Structures are given as structure tokens and as C-alpha cells.
Amino acid sequence: MTFGEKLQKLRTRAGLSQDQLAELLDVSRQAVSKWERNEAMPEAEKLVRISRQFGVSTDYLLLEELEEPETASTTAPAAGLWVRVKQWYRNRGYLLAWVLAAWGVWNLVDLDVLAANTYQQAQDLENFAWVKYVQMVYIPTMIPHVLLILVSVILVFRGRQLAGRLRWYHLGWLLVLMGLLNMRLPLPAPLRFLQTGPVWSISTALLVYLAEYGPENMWEFLEVTFWDDLPCLLVTILGFAILILGCRYDQRTSLRKIETDESLAPQR
């Protein structure tokens, strides 16, 4: 049995993917793939780490005549919890967007219940302008929740295309949505400024101030709300920065790992 066959057998028995083993050994997935195809051999330090990871001797890994591990324990340790969580996130992390979509639906239902109660109470008022209430209160508040649902659904289907390739920096989309939309999250006092957002301000400016009071009042309203929305905009910028810089960092890291593996791994 060759080294590659033994490595693949041990990895499969431990329930590890090539990506997981690559993370544990601090190499690229391509390096693990080459080892298992017997196209390259790991350096001595990696061999020691492989033997420790799977609880076998280096002689077992290197000598083809040894068909079974020399240790008493032939069962490799299972992947740790953190490794399993990271692997689940890479493969199924896009499902978290359904949580955001469900939160948007919950907020929308809560808003509809509030509107229904307001309508019931308004029946006893003679001059209550129900159309004005819908235009000036309901619709501007509804728009961020509807956008949250739509964007979350888009993230789910886009995430399915990236299944197996999701990375930590993709969580930057959460900051983008928190900054732009009124998600009404139960946040602590220092972060409650995120319970509003520029989308609500723009919707109110267009549907209320522009339609009812004219462009001058609309710009005055936006100027006032800009400073309230500035922290939200900064959170949005932070989210985009994490997405962009994280992607570039991941690309450079992957390239360095591949170059290092190719330069250090001795050829058979």
C-alpha cells in the first residue's frame, strides 16, 4: 500500500475532508490531493504531524510493506468540534441567510399586526387620515424588511453556488445588511443606532417629504438624518471592507501555500 493510499484511508476513517486535513497541517488542499495521488511526498515535518494526527508511526506511512498501523489503536481521532463547525460553515453556511429572511418576515408580520391595530383604533376617530398613515409610516417602515427578505433569499441561492468555498469574510454581508437596513435586532444600548438605517431615511424622504413638502424639505430631512445614519454607514463600509480585503488575503494565502508546497515537497 502506497503512502497516498494510506493517507487517504486514514483521512477517510477519521471523517476528514481534504480541506479539513489541509487546515490541520497548514498546507493547501492541492498539496493533500497530490500526496494522495502519489504525485508528491510531504516534507519530514509534515510527515511527523500526519503521524501524530492519525496516531500511527512514520514507518507505517513510508514503508509500503506495512499494511496495518504499528500502534495498538487503529482508529484515527475524529475531527475536533471547531474543525467540524468550520467545515459545516464552508459547505452549508449559506443556510444562515434563511435566519435573516425569517427575521425579516417576523418584522413584517409584526408591522402588519401594528397597522391592523392602528386601523381598528382609527375607526373611532373622525378625521384619521388612513391613506396618509400608510404612505408616511407603514410603507417607509416596510421597505427595509422586504429588502432584507429579498437580499437574504439571494444570498441563499448565491451561497449554494459557493458551497465548499465559503470563507470567514463572507460574514461581512451581515454587517452590510445591519448597516443599511432597519433589522430591529435586540442589540445592547451602545449598538442601538443600528435599529435605524439609511434605507428607511431615504424611503421616508422620497415618500413623505418629497411627495408632501417638496425637494427642499426632503434635502433638509436627509441632511438631518445623515448624522444619525453615519454610524450605520460606517458599519456598512466596514462590512464591504471585510469582504474585499478578506477575499484578497485569502487569494494571497492560497497562492503562497501552493508555492511553498511545490517548492518544499520532494518529488517521488
Q: 225 phi and psi, to 5 degrees? A: -75, -15
Whether the CB-CB separation of 76 and 13 falls below 8 Å is answered with yes
Whether 151 has a pLDDT exceeding 90, the answer reads yes
Which range has the top average pLDDT, 186-195, 244-253, 255-264? 244-253
| Number of C-beta neighbours around residue 108 at 10 A | 17
Which range has the top average pLDDT, 24-38, 75-89, 132-146, 156-170? 132-146
- Mean pLDDT (the chain) is 82
> What's the confidence (pLDDT) of residue 268?
46
Whether the CB-CB separation of 38 and 25 falls below 8 Å is answered with no
Please state, in angstroms and rounded to a whole number, the distance separating the CA atoms of residues 167 and 254: 12
Whether the CB-CB separation of 179 and 234 falls below 8 Å is answered with yes
User: Nearest-5° angle of CA 101, CA 250, CA 48?
Assistant: 115
> What's the confidence (pLDDT) of residue 60?
84
Least confident of 72-86, 110-124, 184-198: 72-86
- Tell me the three state secondary structure of residue 172: helix
Q: 149 phi and psi, to 5 degrees? A: -65, -45
CA distances from 252 to 30, 103, 170 (A): 15, 36, 17
> What's the confidence (pLDDT) of residue 194?
62
> What's the confidence (pLDDT) of residue 25?
81
Residues 10-66 have pLDDT tens digits of 888 887 888 878 877 878 888 888 888 988 888 888 888 888 888 888 888 888 777
Rounded mean pLDDT, 181-210: 78
179: which residues sit within 8 A by CB, 6+ positions away? Answer: 194, 197, 198, 232, 233, 234, 235, 236, 237, 238, 239
Whether the CB-CB separation of 104 and 149 falls below 8 Å is answered with yes
> What's the confidence (pLDDT) of residue 253?
78
User: Nearest-5° angle of CA 185, CA 191, CA 195?
Assistant: 40
Residues 94-116 have pLDDT tens digits of 899 999 999 999 999 999 999 99
Q: Kindly provide the b/e burial profile for residues 210-233, where b requires at least 16 CB atoms within 10 angstroms of the residue's own CB.
A: beeeeeeebeebbeebeeebeebe
Residues 154-179 have pLDDT tens digits of 999 988 888 777 888 999 999 999 88
Least confident of 26-35, 89-98, 120-129, 222-231: 120-129
The cell 387620515 sits on which residue? Answer: 129
Helix, strand, coil shares of the chain as percentages rounded to 5? Answer: 75, 0, 25
Please state, in angstroms and rounded to a whole number, the distance separating the CA atoms of residues 169 and 166: 8
